[in-house]
Amino acid sequence: MVWKRLSGYVRSLEESSDILRIPDPVDVDLEAGCFADRFVKRGGPAIKFEQPRLPDGSISEFPLLMNLYGTTDRTYRALGVEEPKEIGEGMVALMKPDVGGILKAPWTGVGLAMRGMSMAPRKVSKGACQQVVMEEPDVTRLPIPRTWPEDAGPFMTLPLVVTADPNTGEHNMGMYRSQVFGPREVGLHWQAHKHGADHADAATGRMPVAICLGGPPGLTFSAISPLPDNLSEYEFAGLLGGRRLPITKCATSDLWVPAECDVVIEGYTVPGETRLEGPFGDHFGYYSLAEPYPVMHVTRITHRRDAMVPMTIVGTPPMEDGYLGEAIGDAFLPVLRFQHRDLVDLFLPLETGFHNLAIVASKQRYPRQARKTALGLLGAGQLMFQKVTIVVDENHPVKDLDALLDAIDYRVHIPEDLVFLRGMVADTLAHAAPWDNIHDKLIIDATTPPEGDPHSKLPEQAGCPESLEISASAVKGVVQARMLRSSMLVVTTNIEGGPKPESSMEMPSEEGAARQREVILEICDAIWSLEAAHNLRWLFITDDDAYLASEDWRRHLLWQLFCRFDVGRDLHFDKSGGRVAWDATAPIPSNKGPIPVRRWPGVTIHDPEVAERVDAWLTEGGY
């Protein structure tokens, strides 16, 4: 079913007992976020907080919704599809219609034409989002959570931020976290790569901005999707919904906003005016640190009579945004395959925060074809942020991480199959990058070399005995050791003076950083010199909070290996060049190392007292 408004989707969740109504007051400050985190980690239901308690102790008139998309099933239901690939297949059909088939049977083109016609938004004189006008605009009356203890304040985490190009009037709807500074001031975290930033840079005076909350779930999907520049979010929302999206004009500006939203916050930004925004516990599981971002001045707030406010929590994966991200990957795979004919399949594991690892299955008819595929994808939309891309054979199951380890173990020759791209674009939130928006990238070629490739005649590589775990565990500085494959070993360590998960390090410690690098290299050399490590090719080193004996160690290790690691700084080769150590320890900030380490953020961890209260409530309720 396609949803015309948020209330219809929520009603369907109630009918299927997939949303938990909490009638008791719950604090939007830390408590609501902790509830949502607990439920998403357990695959639990969506949550409707019927009495969200604001920081001043009052109860908001608006129910707070969280974890709306916290399972695969709910995400698919929100999109109104059985499988997300249906969305991409529909887009490809519009981009390349079967002209021959339509000419032979013209009636078969009617559905396609109707889909195309549904893309143009429909202007209406007044939308449901304008049924009630807040007499005194005050963003703090909305139930906006502060989800982590070190967050600088409440943040809108599912905001649909509408701007228009000052020169062309073309509208954009993006999702940029929005910090509440006060009743009429909001921070807008649009990064340099985003359209909102483009519009702000082009503005010569006050620029209108609108933040929309709620509305049809398809709007959320549209705002975060990697759309081509010639397809607007409103057009895509119409395509998703199978009908022209109704939009209505703001009262204080010429912006047009989705008419069926629950809340609309109108305002403007002033060129050059910024304010420190953050810290904020982000989707990589770390706090993004305070940086200057534009300020939105609020001029008007309107809402539906039955308005509800949806929010999410991001942090250490898996989180709700992970399910949305996986659905986006599946939905746009047909489009990417249409644009990149060598591409067979693509997977961005949610444990790595999506921008840190891409697993790409490619055709490989001629030597290095898969590398060409990987390079092409790095220029496709938000895939430009990828840190590590691993290419595999076209019949490889990209979502099977055990199969991925096998492919790397059997097929990757070091250093021949490691391709480095220096000084490339990075995500602004990539805290491990040595510079803002810049890092090195790595392509690992784990494909079977075809005829004609010089690697096709290389012999099988031998592995290591399992006894390596025992001997590596005895190395000074090693806490735990575990074999991943016959040529792969992961060890954990605890280096004195390094950042701890619950704390950040902002000031450089050159002496500490130099000592940390020494210890890492000493551990590498000691392990490589072990008799049992003669055929060890991959050595992974991370902090001892990986807990290699825990039930969930694989997921946590994957998160650490890709979120704490920088390609240019943290790969160490042995003297032969045929063995590599992958350093994923939290680094000490430094300006003098081979490659700098910026301020290192802390991990998102709930306040212990809040977590205890929430867990007690869940235990009492039988959850």
Of the listed 18, 151, 282, 409, which one is catalytic? 282
Query: Rg (Cα) of the chain, in Å, rounded?
Result: 25
Report how far apart, in Å, the C-alpha atoms of 345 and of each of 278, 381, 442, 571 are: 36, 17, 19, 28
What length is written for the chain? 623
Write the DSSP symbol of residue 261.
-
Q: At what angle do helices 233-241 and 85-95 cross, to 10 degrees?
A: 110
Contact 61, 36 (CB under 8 A): no
Q: How deeply is 300 buried, as exposed, middle or buried, from its count of CB atoms within 10 A (0-12, 13-18, 19+)?
A: middle
d(CA 273, CA 261): 28
d(CA 88, CA 86): 6
Cβ-Cβ contacts under 8 Å for 504 (sequence gap 6 or more) = 287, 289, 599, 600, 601, 602
Contact 456, 468 (CB under 8 A): no
Burial call 514-552: b when 16+ CB within 10 Å, e when fewer = ebbbebbeebbebbbebebbeebbbbbbbbbebebeeee
Nearest 5°: phi and psi at 226?
Answer: -80, 75
Contact 503, 497 (CB under 8 A): no
Q: Tell me the sheet residues that pair with 25.
A: 51
> Side chain identity at 569, as an amino acid letter?
R
Cβ-Cβ contacts under 8 Å for 205 (sequence gap 6 or more) = 271
> Which pair of structure tokens corresponds to residue 382?
């938000």
Cβ-Cβ contacts under 8 Å for 594 (sequence gap 6 or more) = 569
The helix (H) or strand (E) run that includes residue 319 is none
Cβ-Cβ contacts under 8 Å for 338 (sequence gap 6 or more) = 92, 95, 96
Nearest 5°: phi and psi at 500?
Answer: -100, 155
Q: How many helices (H) and strands (E) does the chain have?
A: 16, 29
Task: Examine the residue annotation and report whether 282 is marked as an active-site residue of this protein.
Answer: yes
Contact 88, 334 (CB under 8 A): yes
Catalytic residues: 282
